Amino acid sequence: MSLLVTGSIALDTVETPCGRVEDVLGGSAIYFALAAAQFGPVRVVGAVGEDFDPRLLQPLREKCIDLRGIEVRAGSRTFRWHGRYQGAMNEARTVRTELNVLAEHAAPLPGEFADSRFVFLANTHPALQREFASRLPRAELVVCDTMNLWIEQERPALERLLSQVHGLVLNEAEAQALTGCVHLVTAGREILRLGPHFVIIKKGEHGSLLVSRDGLALIPAYPTEKVVDPTGCGDSFAGAVMGYLASQGRWDLATLKAAMARGAAVASITLESFSIDALAGCRPAEVQARLTVLKELCRFD
Amino acid sequence: MSLLVTGSIALDTVETPCGRVEDVLGGSAIYFALAAAQFGPVRVVGAVGEDFDPRLLQPLREKCIDLRGIEVRAGSRTFRWHGRYQGAMNEARTVRTELNVLAEHAAPLPGEFADSRFVFLANTHPALQREFASRLPRAELVVCDTMNLWIEQERPALERLLSQVHGLVLNEAEAQALTGCVHLVTAGREILRLGPHFVIIKKGEHGSLLVSRDGLALIPAYPTEKVVDPTGCGDSFAGAVMGYLASQGRWDLATLKAAMARGAAVASITLESFSIDALAGCRPAEVQARLTVLKELCRFD
């Protein structure tokens, strides 16, 4: 099934206890696409500025990711994010954000992508996400991400969006903020009342929880000890989930669980380097090896 | 295999968002024994004061728990703990502690218990734990718990203890404090360097992690939505783990994983009431039903 992602393309400056990188490739659409490409073709819609060096996209071209939806916007600058992780690196502290091209208007949907069946709307203003989804009449699965800013400041728009998507992927703190429930299963059930058929709550090193109208699932995180930079882990997770679902052409409970395990495996690879380095270099055999470990880790008699 | 626990017997006053109870039965040995009794016989060593109402132990007698090691100490008062849980109830705030009988000397080991093969040393001063273990020459598996107080203030004694036990069960924050490692797998490996063959790190609602010389395991928590009082969950978890291991007479990696799953199931039952009410009323079929759910929750293709 055709898979499309729309999201950010960023130049990131990131500091972690392991080091610092400056103006490296990042952004939700980038991490998502590289992760999804492990499982099948993926189309990217996003915008960069004139300052963006197109050579940065070479690793995506090598994975045959369809980049026809990347708009190079004249007179604009690329989105920049500077973040810092400390201690257990559970949360980034944003040092500086330059929205640049993201503060203008959304990237247009190329006509060739209008037949997309599986769609991921990475985090942006919920009204933009909803507007984008409305241009994809053949979509069979629309999943979105969100963030605390919209939960706090754009709740009506977010609720309209949620009433129209099939799935939501968000992290623990966001699920709690959205529902006011500290208990995550309860929070998940509250989110289903807003419209989605399923919600996946990302718990970082503690794995991910699926609350769906068809049941629950708990998939642990792959226990890598090489934690270099968590940037993009959540987007890689979502990319692998959606890539696997699209490769199977369905999103029933069993397929969602298998997809979340692939998300855990791929996200753990992203974690092991700055930027996209480990993710872009990752081979299917490595994902498969981690899946085998993950399955054995939580198997019991 | 014979299983013995030594630990506290308490009168607890507990406040949670669900209510408040006063002077109810609690203590590590009590929760441990009731959980372990789901899987086989268990012997308890602990002390209470003259003020202790022996009728409180009726639920333990009904489970055929061997209480000959409970000393009723003349002139002493029972250990009392008053705690408060708020919000997500991840951590208790201690309002007041009266050590009473615990501040005196350890309860003696009855001669009939000296042949115990599986032993759990619930949290107390590590020198007392070590001294107790030294009186059990036939023990094949000795597992201990500890707490931040000993990690911070009695480190040499704790390290001596750890060099002599087979296993350690402790929570996430304690594992981090003991090792200075925020990453739990790394923390677990550091703990193995102190002596134990395995360590189980309890992560509350996020499940439990086993780091053993034979491998890793990640067992999720049972996702109950009825969270009434977390008091005793950790001790119930340990009790079910040790009870299952003793019932199998071995503690290899596969048996440890199966034991942790039983720990998760039983701990989730403890969580659903104040004091021992839900745990004492729990039937094997309920544990089995939760195990089936837990297995399915984290199974994927």
**pLDDT, position B111:** 96
**pLDDT, position A99:** 93
Q: What contacts A175, CB < 8 A, 6 or more positions away?
A: A181, A184, A187, A188, A191, A199, A201
Residues of chain B neighbouring A186 (CB-CB closer than 8 A) = 225
Please compute the mean of the pLDDT values over residues A186-208 and round it to a whole number: 97
In DSSP terms, A84 is beta-bridged to: A15, A93
A140: buried, middle or exposed (CB in 10 Å: 19+, 13-18, 0-12)? middle
CB–CB of A265/A294 below 8 Å? Answer: yes
Residues of chain A neighbouring B217 (CB-CB closer than 8 A) = 297-298, 300
**pLDDT, position A92:** 87
Q: What is the pLDDT of residues A62-75, one digit of tens each?
A: 999 999 999 999 99
Nearest CA in chain B to A87: B182
In the block, tokens 């090792």 appear at: B179
> Contact A218/B220, CB-based, under 8 Å?
yes
Q: B115: which 2 tokens?
A: 């042949």
Nearest CA in chain B to A180: B87
Give the range among A154-158, A222-226, B59-63 with minimum mean pLDDT: A222-226
> Contact B299/A297, CB-based, under 8 Å?
no
> Contact B297/A203, CB-based, under 8 Å?
no
**Listed residue (A49, A52, A104) closest to A75, CA to CA:** A49
Residues of chain B neighbouring A185 (CB-CB closer than 8 A) = 223, 225
> Contact B261/A300, CB-based, under 8 Å?
yes
**pLDDT, position B92:** 87
pTM over 0.95: no
Shortest Cα–Cα distance, B221 to chain A (Å): 9
**pLDDT, position B87:** 78
> Contact B87/A218, CB-based, under 8 Å?
no
**H/E run at residue B209:** strand B208-212
The DSSP 8-state label assigned to residue A117 in this structure reads: S
Residues of A at the B interface (Cβ-Cβ below 8 Å)? Answer: 87-88, 182-186, 203, 205-207, 209, 216-220, 223, 225, 227, 254, 257-258, 260-261, 295, 297-301
Classify A209 in phi/psi space as left (phi over 0), alpha (psi -120 to 50) or beta: beta
Q: What is the pLDDT of residues B208-229, one digit of tens each?
A: 999 999 999 999 999 988 999 9
> Contact B217/A295, CB-based, under 8 Å?
no
Chain B interface, best mutation among A171, A205, A218, by max B CB count within 10 A: A218
**Listed residue (B167, B171, B102) closest to B139, CA to CA:** B167
**pLDDT, position B46:** 97
Chain B interface, best mutation among A190, A288, A298, by max B CB count within 10 A: A298
**pLDDT, position A180:** 95
Residues of chain A neighbouring B257 (CB-CB closer than 8 A) = 299-301
Residues of B at the A interface (Cβ-Cβ below 8 Å)? Answer: 87-88, 182-186, 203, 205-207, 209, 216-220, 223, 225, 227, 254, 257-258, 260-261, 295, 297-301
What confidence tier does A90 reach under pLDDT thresholds 50, 70, 90? confident
Query: Following CA atoms B18, B19, B24, B29 in sequence, which dihedral angle do they give, to the nearest 10 degrees?
Result: 30
pLDDT less than 70: residues of chain B: none
**Listed residue (A33, A31, A30, A53) closest to A41, CA to CA:** A33
Question: Which of A88, A203, A218 lies closest to B298 in CB terms?
Answer: A218
Shortest Cα–Cα distance, B207 to chain A (Å): 8
CB atoms within 10 A of CB B43: 22
> Contact A220/B223, CB-based, under 8 Å?
no
What confidence tier does A88 reach under pLDDT thresholds 50, 70, 90? confident
**pLDDT, position B188:** 98
> Contact A298/B205, CB-based, under 8 Å?
no
Question: Which of B182, B220, B261 lies closest to A220 in CB terms?
Answer: B220
> Contact A298/B227, CB-based, under 8 Å?
no
**Residue A73 backbone phi and psi in degrees, to 5:** -90, 120
Q: What is the pLDDT of residues A30-80, one digit of tens each?
A: 999 999 999 999 999 999 999 999 999 999 999 999 999 999 999 999 999
Question: Which of A182, A227, A260 lies closest to B183 in CB terms?
Answer: A227
Shortest Cα–Cα distance, A301 to chain B (Å): 5
Q: A60: which 2 tokens?
A: 């995506």
**pLDDT, position A45:** 98
b/e A19-46 (16+ beta carbons within 10 angstroms → b): eebebbbbbbbbbbbbbbbbbbbbbbbb
Q: Would the pLDDT of A225 be above 90?
A: no
